[in-house]
Chain A
Amino acid sequence: MKKLVKGNEAVVIGALVAGCDAYYGYPITPASEIAHAASEYFLPLGKVFVQAECEIGAINMVFGSASSGLRTMTASSGPGISLKMEGISYLAGAELPCVIVDVQRVGPGLGNIGPEQSDYYQVVKGGGHGDYRAIVLAPASVEETYRMTIEAFDLADKWRTPVFLLTDATLGQMMEPIDVRQEPTQRSEKPWALDTKPESNNNLVTSIYLDFDDMEVHINQLHDKYQQITDSEAKAEVYGADVPDIVLTGYGITGRMLRSAVDLLKDQGINATLVRPQTLWPFPTKVYQQVVKSGVPVLSVELSRGQFVEDVRLSLPGHSVKHYGRVGGNLPGLDELVEQAKLCLEEAKNV
């Protein structure tokens, strides 16, 4: 049935529907409602909820419960995600499934609690040490936040890897209806888990391989897996004209606003198409290559001075991609986006 909830609460409802067993977190605006809702729902259901002493504590508790085969999650915002990064590297190294939510706020430093999309490098390119990747899902609505949280748990189990849900202050704080019902989820068997069965006496969860050759084998195996994920899990929404005059691209809240911009441009006789990545790693490179024909200008919008745009450019070698960013907690207005699109078209004509 339909329920009007904040994006942050949708995360917790999605987690419950996915059968999440344990939540560990530490408060931070604008992510705190996730911890509020988790404490409200998890404890009476007999599930695990612990407010940790800090984000480092929380992510390492996640490590412990994920090692034990539980569906486990944590959530935070920029400063807390920075603290979690060491643990995330260990989770990736030890191939532990878990879900990490980053409700992005403004940085660097303490920044402020407004929306930004400036954790892109940290989350998508791997803020922790070592040669690892984590799947990153980027919802653009509360309903998608809910759905993707469920999906995140399945992907984490399927690939034995940490999965990020990357939202922002706007998506976390806004309310929209979600349609809550029982969903089929694919909880994997975890014969490797640490538990009290005699069979698990030989189980070992670690990321250390002292022998260089063993370590190389391990890293290579991780990357074989990452290649499979790249080949099979990349996703994007494409919306608008079949033969566009201009391609607009952005993820999350920005992608959603660009969808409105596509409609407004159409009213003014301009054919625009939106490419909105739903996975940021793996990045939907193929979608860009299919949609963006040579000579068609691309406008990339994000709430940052230019991080996401780097992956757009890498997906479209030789193609000129214009970046437009707002920062500090400000969101662009729709008229502003329309104006930028026209400017981009204009500049392309003059080249």
Chain B
Amino acid sequence: MSKVFEKSTAFFDTFERKPSLQKTTHYCPGCGHGTLNKIIADQVAELGIQDRTIYVGPVGCGVFIYYYFEGACASAAHGRASAVATGISRANPDAITVSYQGDGDLAAIGTSNAIHAANRGENMIVFFVNNNIYGMTGGQLAPTTLIDQTSTTSPTGRTVKNDGFPLQMAEMIAGLEAPTLVARVGVNNPKNIRQAIKVIKRGLEIQRDKKGYAFIEVLSQCPTNWKKNPVEACEWIDEVVSKQYPFGVFKDIADEGEAVERPCERVEFAAVAEQLGLVDKVDKGDQQIEMPRDEMRFKFAGFGGQGILSLGMMMAQMAMQRDMEVTWLPSYGPEMRGGVANASVVVSKNTIGSPIVDDPNVLVALNRPSLEKFGPLVQADGLIIYNSSLIDQVPPDLKGKAFALPATDLATEAGSAKAANVVVLGFYAKISGMFSLDDLNSFLGETFKKPALVDINLKAVKAGWDAAGETKL
């Protein structure tokens, strides 16, 4: 153990990051923060991990820990140190990541971030400085303030009725699966300090060995806001505070566990391209397609499960492979959950302006509500293909040319009612001349991976193709 009065080598010699009085700390006389800082620095130095240690400071009296620790430091927003430390730890798998937080910071505003970092078992050590008060902001009630304890926002003492019970963070965190070490120590007398040193060393060793999450709650005196002199404050911890918050090691499973390795790789483009499936595919961009007009605006509609969105996607995908401009826009959310889905698809030889199709050139309606809703939007020169397997009555107000296609029946014959969308694709390809049967077959072969599915879809597309007969637009 290092000598008590020697400055740790993990501290700066003079506190250059501090604007004034660079020889002294900013803590009040007798404050527990100072003692804790020294123990941490000593142990970091002793373990020889100074270069690897990254400190995250809180908002609270610990905000300026970076004045003292000679190491890479970040200062987090109030309550967020555990989340910031998560980002640092994930980015630096070899770092010793230290999150230093007060009780307002960790047990009030930042509880959620703290609990979840613990629950993920992040490789980090959290020092939770419990002085049962908001020190920096002037002695307000903390979640850890004792029952009956006065503060500037509980002038007549904390009541359970108004403020709830003191929050036992160490016990809460010890109840989680992931944490490796959970303990509560004190820095108010030599005996407690000796124990604190032991536990803190253990916590840092766990970090050195990448063995997950360590949580060390430190009962710390705040003479200033407790309105006590330093000696009284230290005694009060033993006599009163530690009765509410007992000292102890609540959990230590470091010897059982393995090191937790979480990668953070720099990746070359080639690996990205492979991951995205960009390799081994050829663009067929030189083969243009014929279209009835330069820009075709499609609306595909039906109920969820009829493959209406994927029908639109197949159309867009095939057109894209032929170097057309395409857009595909789904209806989504509550509308889809209600059972009716639609996709707007635009295929164009030129840059597409609006992707929204409210005046379709072609409407595919696979169920009756879709035909009723979108049918009237199709103008006289437009085309409607409706699923006559499910629609027996055509609305009287249709202007566009309507084709009855028993898509569901033909698909069922081909092997699955779900292939009704592909029947439509075959039908439309034939009457429009946009794609040949070969195009369709090779596309479906690439799209469906399972041979049985390929077979059904090839049959379905042929059935649609044949149903068109010699009809041309």
Q: Is residue A54 contacting chain B, with contact meaning CB distance below 8 A?
A: yes
- Is B86 in contact with A195, judged by CB distance below 8 angstroms? no
* Contact pick for A174, options B19, B264, B267, B355, CB 8 Å: B355
Given A64-B83, A263-B353, A175–B91 Cβ distance below 8 Å? no
Answer whether residue B272 sits at the interface, using C-beta atoms and an 8 A cutoff. Answer: yes
Q: Determine the chain A residues whose CB is within 8 A of the CB of B313 once the complex forms.
A: 4, 175
For the complex, is B354 an interface residue (Cβ under 8 Å from A)? yes
Residues 65-108 of A contacting B (Cβ, < 8 Å): 65-70, 72, 86-87, 90, 94
CB atoms of B91 and A69 under 8 A apart? yes
Q: Are A45 and B267 in contact, with the CB atoms below 8 A?
A: yes
B316 touches A64 (CB 8 A): no
Q: Which of B72, B265, B351 contacts A47 (CB 8 A)?
A: B265
**A87-B77, A113-B333, A263-B353 as given contacts; A211 in contact with B265, CB under 8 Å:** no
Q: A45-B267, A70-B91, A177-B320 are in contact. Are A214 and B86 (CB under 8 A)?
A: no
B85 at the interface (CB under 8 A from A): yes
Alpha-carbon separation in the docked complex, A87 to B356 (Å)? 36
> How far apart are the CA atoms of A348 and B80 in the complex, in Å?
54
- Min CB distance, A199 to chain B, in Å? 9
On whether A203 and B72 interact (CB within 8 A), knowing A176-B327, A177-B326, the answer reads yes
Q: Given the complex of chains A and B, what is the CA–CA distance between A24 and B276 in angstroms?
A: 20
Scan A236-263; emit 1 where CB is below 8 A from any B CB, else 0: 0000000000000000000011011101
Within 8 A of B (CB), among A20-79: 21-22, 24, 29-30, 41, 44-48, 50, 52-54, 56-58, 60-70, 72
Pairwise interchain contact A63-B76, C-beta atoms closer than 8 A: yes
Q: How far is the CA of A54 from the CA of B83 in the complex (A)?
A: 10
Taking residues whose C-beta sits less than 8 angstroms from the other chain, chain A's interface range is: 35 or more
| Assembly CA distance A57 to B90 (angstroms) | 14
Q: A194-B73, A196-B51, A205-B74 are in contact. Are A334 and B353 (CB under 8 A)?
A: yes
Whether the pair B73, A1 counts as a contact (CB closer than 8 A) is no
**Chain A proximity mask over B101-129: 1 for CB below 8 Å, otherwise 0:** 00000000000110110001000000000
Choose among B17, B72, B332 the residue that contacts A173 (Cβ–Cβ < 8 A). Answer: B332
Distance in angstroms between the alpha carbons of A194 and B95 in the assembled complex: 10
Q: Which of chain B's residues have a CB closer than 8 A to the CB of A16? A: 267, 272, 275-276
* Contact, CB under 8 Å: A50 / B328: no
Q: Which residues of B contact A217 (CB under 8 A)?
A: none
B300 CB to closest chain A CB, in angstroms?
Answer: 13
* Cβ–Cβ contact A67 & B87, under 8 A: yes
Q: Is A182 an interface residue (CB 8 A)?
A: yes
- A176, B326: Cβ atoms under 8 Å? yes
Asked if A57 and B113 sit within 8 Å, CB to CB, the answer is yes
The answer to the question of A325 belonging to the interface, with a C-beta cut-off of 8 Å to chain B, is: no
Interface: B130 (CB within 8 A) = no
The reply to whether B272 and A46 contact each other, CB–CB distance below 8 Å, is no
Given contact pairs A4-B320, A64-B83, A201-B70, A50 touches B90 in the complex (Cβ within 8 A): yes
Residues of A within 8 A of B358 (CB): 333
Convert B300-324 into 0s and 1s, putting 1 for each residue whose CB lies closer than 8 angstroms to a CB of A. Answer: 0000000000000100110011000
Asked if A194 meets B276 with Cβ closer than 8 Å, knowing A60-B84, A63-B76, the reply is no
Asked if A206 is at the interface (CB within 8 A of a chain B CB), the reply is yes
B66:A206 contact, CB within 8 angstroms: yes
Residue of B nearest to A90 (CB): B77
Q: Check B254 for interface membership: any CB of A closer than 8 A.
A: no
Q: Is the CB of B19 within 8 A of A214?
A: yes
Of the listed residues A3, A174, A203, the one surrounded by the most CB atoms of chain B closer than 10 A to its CB is: A174
Contacts of A204 in B (CB 8 A): 17, 66, 72-75
Known: A61-B83, A201-B50, A204-B66. A68 touches B265 (CB 8 A): no
Is B267 in contact with A203, judged by CB distance below 8 angstroms?
Answer: no
Say yes or no: is A227 at the interface (Cβ < 8 Å to chain B). Answer: no
Residues of B contacting A351 in the complex (Cβ-Cβ under 8 angstroms):
none
Verify if B240 is at the interface (C-beta below 8 Å from A).
no
Rounded to whole angstroms, the CA-CA distance of A196 and B56 in the bound complex is 14
User: How far is B353's CA from A257's CA once the two chains are assembled, in angstroms?
Assistant: 5
Chain A residues within 8 Å of B84, by CB: 60-61, 63-64, 67
Q: Is the CB of B87 within 8 A of A3?
A: no
Interface residues of A in 240-297 (CB under 8 A from B): 256-257, 259-261, 263
Check B264 against A53 for contact (C-beta < 8 Å). no
Contacts of B264 on A, CB cut-off 8 Å? 21-22, 46-48, 70
Q: Flag whether A349 is at the interface (Cβ < 8 A).
A: no
How far, in whole Å, are A254 and B17 apart by their CA atoms in the complex? 49
CB < 8 Å: which of A63, A173, A257, A333 contacts B329? A173
Contact A256 B87 (CB under 8 A): no
Q: How far is the CB of A48 from chain B (nearest CB, A)?
A: 5
* Set of chain B residues within 8 Å of A142, measured between Cβ atoms: 327
Task: Please report which residues of chain B, range 322-376, place their CB below 8 angstroms from some CB of chain A when the two chains form the complex.
Answer: 325-330, 332-334, 351-356, 358
Instruction: Report yes or no: A53 in contact with B112, Cβ–Cβ below 8 A.
Output: yes
B191: interface (CB < 8 Å) = no
Cα distance, A70 to B63, chains bound together (Å): 24
Chain A residues with CB under 8 A of B77: 60, 63, 86-87, 90
Residues of B within 8 A of A19 (CB): 266-267
Determine which of A22, A41, A57, A202 lies in contact with B275 in the assembled complex, contact meaning CB atoms within 8 Å: A41
The reply on A110 being an interface residue by CB < 8 A is: no
Q: How far is the CB of B101 from chain A (nearest CB, A)?
A: 13
B269: Cβ under 8 A from any A Cβ: yes
List B260-307 residues whose CB lies under 8 Å from chain A: 262-267, 269, 271-273, 275-276, 278, 281, 283, 285
Cβ–Cβ < 8 Å partners of A48 in chain B: 90-91, 262, 264
Q: Are A174 and B329 touching (Cβ within 8 A)?
A: yes
B80 engages A60 (CB within 8 Å) = yes
List chain B residues, Cβ under 8 A from A53.
Answer: 112-113, 115-116
Q: Which of A41, A64, A205, A207 has the most CB of B within 10 A?
A: A64
CB distance from B102 to the nearest CB of A (A): 15
- A198 in contact (CB, < 8 A): yes
Minimum CB–CB distance from B78 to chain A (whole Å) comes to: 9
Task: For residue B44, give the distance in angstroms from its CB to the closest CB of chain A.
Answer: 11
A sample of 7 cross-chain residue pairs with beta-carbon separation below 8 angstroms, ordered by A number, consists of A29-B333, A54-B112, A64-B87, A176-B327, A201-B50, A204-B75, A333-B358
| 11 further contact pairs, Cβ within 8 A, besides A30-B332, A64-B84 | A48-B91, A60-B80, A65-B87, A67-B84, A68-B91, A170-B356, A176-B326, A195-B95, A204-B66, A256-B354, A259-B353
7 shortest interchain CB distances as A-B pairs: A64-B87, A260-B353, A46-B265, A68-B91, A60-B83, A61-B87, A175-B328
